[in-house]
């Protein structure tokens, strides 16, 4: 759901400058080959692979994902959905549920009554409704409340 830049990562002592450089290149293009990253970082592809494997093993790199461009998909309808979870639903469980929906642009845990706020993009209101219904059927979700975006004022 969230993309972390290397400068945003806590625990600075865990990463040296080379690790930071590799993460910077990887965050720009998650599909870059080890050889491509190595050229930019002045390392061999084998050294890049070893370092990235180590970063994955330590949990610094948790996975790779595809970031879709909603506008190019024709997803011009937006909504913000408040999610109310069942008791004992962890943020990790909710994250796992939401990751399966390409329409989820972003999601946050929040203070107040809802447990999470989810930003959705869809082709139209019918598509939006179908996605919200699928989210509501997830095991940890008790209910939701939606606000459809009419127009963007700032951004």
Number of domains in the chain: 2
The candidate with the shortest Cα–Cα distance to 130, out of 85, 75, 53, 73, is 75
Is 153 a member of any domain? Answer: no
Asked if residue 81 and residue 53 are part of one domain, the reply reads: no
Asked if residue 92 and residue 52 are part of one domain, the reply reads: no
Question: Helix (H, G, I), strand (E, B), or coil: what is residue 26?
Answer: helix
Asked if residue 96 and residue 34 are part of one domain, the reply reads: no
What's the rounded mean pLDDT across residues 18-30?
Answer: 90
pLDDT at 69: 84
Query: pLDDT digits over 79-105, tens only?
Result: 999 999 999 999 999 999 999 999 999
Give 5's Cβ-side CA count (13 Å radius).
3
Asked if residue 48 and residue 11 are part of one domain, the reply reads: yes
pLDDT at 130: 98
Percent of the chain with pLDDT strictly greater than 90: 75
Is 26 a member of any domain? Answer: yes
Tell me the CATH number at 52.
Answer: 1.10.10.10
Is 40 a member of any domain? Answer: yes
Percent of the chain with pLDDT strictly greater than 70: 92
pLDDT at 13: 56
Is 139 a member of any domain? Answer: yes
Which domain, by its residues, includes 16?
A: 6-57
Is 17 a member of any domain? Answer: yes
Tell me the CATH number at 116.
Answer: 3.30.70.920
Tokens 């290397």 sit at which residue?
6
Is 16 a member of any domain? Answer: yes
Is 155 a member of any domain? Answer: no
What's the rounded mean pLDDT across residues 126-138?
Answer: 97
> Rounded distance, CA 32 to CA 26, Å?
7
Sign of torsion over alpha carbons 40, 41, 46, 48: negative
């Amino acid at each position: 759901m969230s993309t972390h830049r290397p400068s945003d990562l806590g625990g600075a002592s865990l990463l040296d400058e080379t690790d930071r450089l590799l993460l910077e290149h990887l965050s720009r293009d998650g599909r870059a080959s080890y050889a491509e990253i190595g050229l930019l970082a002045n390392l061999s592809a084998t050294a890049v692979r070893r370092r990235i494997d180590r970063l994955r093993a330590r949990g610094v790199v948790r996975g790779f994902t595809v970031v879709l461009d909603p506008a190019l998909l024709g997803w011009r309808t937006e909504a913000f959905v408040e999610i109310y979870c069942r008791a004992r639903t962890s943020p990790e469980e909710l994250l796992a549920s939401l990751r399966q929906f390409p329409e989820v642009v972003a999601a946050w845990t929040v203070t107040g009554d809802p447990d999470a706020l989810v930003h959705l993009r869809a082709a139209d209101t019918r598509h939006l409704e179908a996605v919200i219904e699928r989210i509501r059927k997830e095991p940890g979700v008790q209910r939701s409340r939606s606000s459809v975006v009419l127009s963007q004022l700032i951004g």
